[in-house]
Amino acid sequence: MRRSLLIALTASFAFLTACTTTTTTPTAQSAPQKKAPLLSVSQASSRLASIKARVEPVAERECKARTKGMNCDFLIQIDKKADAPPNAYQTVSKSGRPMITFTAALVSDARNNDELAFVMGHEAAHHMMGHIGRQQNDAMAGAVIVGILAAAAGADASVLDAAMDVGATVGARAYSKNYELEADRLGTIVTHRAGYNPVRGAEYFTRIPDPGNQFLGTHPPNSQRIAVVKQTAAKL
Ligand SMILES: [Zn+2]
């Protein structure tokens, strides 16, 4: 039982920590004219420097104002894997420091600094709202509930393992879209306070593949995300 839970939680943790802003490159037919040249890791790092210098202090201030005892000293960096697909994600280091990582491909794809500032604000918001921990709890609850049901139904060890994997996934995804919208809302505030335009920044979503409203998908439809950003920005 303990091993099963560990497997389920390990499986779910793999995607929990990778809060993915986008996972795939826009397809060739959507952009036949010009594809942004891929920046090197150091070029991407230079492009991000001025944005980081404005967004990080605001994110840190908002984080301290909104949380208690949380490490708010964000480390914002470029993924060392030069050929990683367009993505940005938030993780926490072993010492508890929040880290926001951009791949060079995402930085290359951004049309303006507002887009990069918005992605940064969105990822910082995930940390402030404790989304990694909340998703881990959701995963654990899902694994335990399904595990108990499967055990009660007389499942053997291998079936129980598989059932708990599914339970962890379902549990983790149950609130995932809400977490994304929450991060978009707070990310809009951070972006605005850092002096960038969050509505212009969220136009990034119009160029990435729309996940649509998939059952148990991890991300909400792009139109819903843009609407949330516009609503929030209108009140600022
Ligand atoms: Zn996110």
Residue with tokens 């939680």: 9
Nearest of 95, 90, 98 to residue 21 by alpha carbon: 90
Q: Let me know: does 202 contact 229? Beta carbons within 8 Å.
A: yes
Provide the residue-wise pLDDT of the chain in tens; the chain has 236 residues.
444 544 444 444 443 444 554 433 344 444 445 677 899 999 999 999 999 999 999 999 999 999 998 999 999 999 999 999 999 999 999 999 999 999 999 999 999 999 999 999 999 999 999 988 888 887 888 888 888 888 888 888 888 888 888 888 877 777 788 899 999 999 999 999 999 999 999 998 877 776 666 666 677 888 889 999 999 999 99
Check residue 32 and give left, alpha or beta (phi > 0: left; psi -120 to 50: alpha). alpha
Q: Where are the domains of the chain?
A: 2-133+174-234
Distance (Å) from CA 114 to ligand 1 centroid = 17
If you measure from the C-alpha of residue 1 to the centroid of ligand 1, how many angstroms do you get, rounded to a whole number? 32
Helix, strand, coil shares, percent, the chain, to 5: 60, 5, 30
d(CA 101, CA 62): 19
What are the CA-CA distances from residue 106 to residues 23, 120, 182 (Å)? 10, 12, 22
User: Contact, 143 vs 5, CB < 8 A?
Assistant: yes
**For residue 127, how far is its CA from the centre of ligand 1 (angstroms)?**
10
Position 113 scores a pLDDT of 97
CA dist 161 to 1, 118, 153, 166, 168, Å?
8, 39, 14, 9, 11
Quickly list H helices, 30-75. Answer: 41-66
* Angstrom distance (rounded) from CA 219 to CA 14: 16
The helix-helix angle for 41-66 and 176-193 (nearest 10°) equals 100
Q: How many angstroms separate the CA atoms of 196 and 101, rounded?
A: 20
Distance 20 CA to ligand 1 centre (A): 6
Strand arrangement, sheet containing 75-78: 75-78, 98-102, 88-92
What pLDDT is recorded for position 213?
61
Using the mean position of ligand 1's atoms as its centre, give its distance from the Cα of residue 33 in Å.
Answer: 29
Q: Helix 113-128 to helix 41-66 angle, to the nearest 10 degrees?
A: 40
pTM of this structure:
0.79
Kindly give the distance from the C-alpha atom of residue 18 to the centroid of ligand 1, in angstroms, as a whole number: 9
Q: How far apart are CA 197 and CA 33, in angstroms?
A: 26
Q: String of b and e for 140-168 (b: at least 16 CB within 10 Å)?
A: bbbbbebbeebbeeebeeeebbbbbbebb
Rounded distance from Cα 103 to ligand 1 centre (Å):
15
Q: How far is the CA of 151 from the centre of ligand 1 (A)?
A: 34
CA of 16 to the centre of ligand 1 (A): 10
Token pair belonging to 220: 């909400």
Query: In angstroms, what is the span from residue 148 Cα to ligand 1's centroid?
Result: 31
Using the mean position of ligand 1's atoms as its centre, give its distance from the Cα of residue 156 in Å: 37
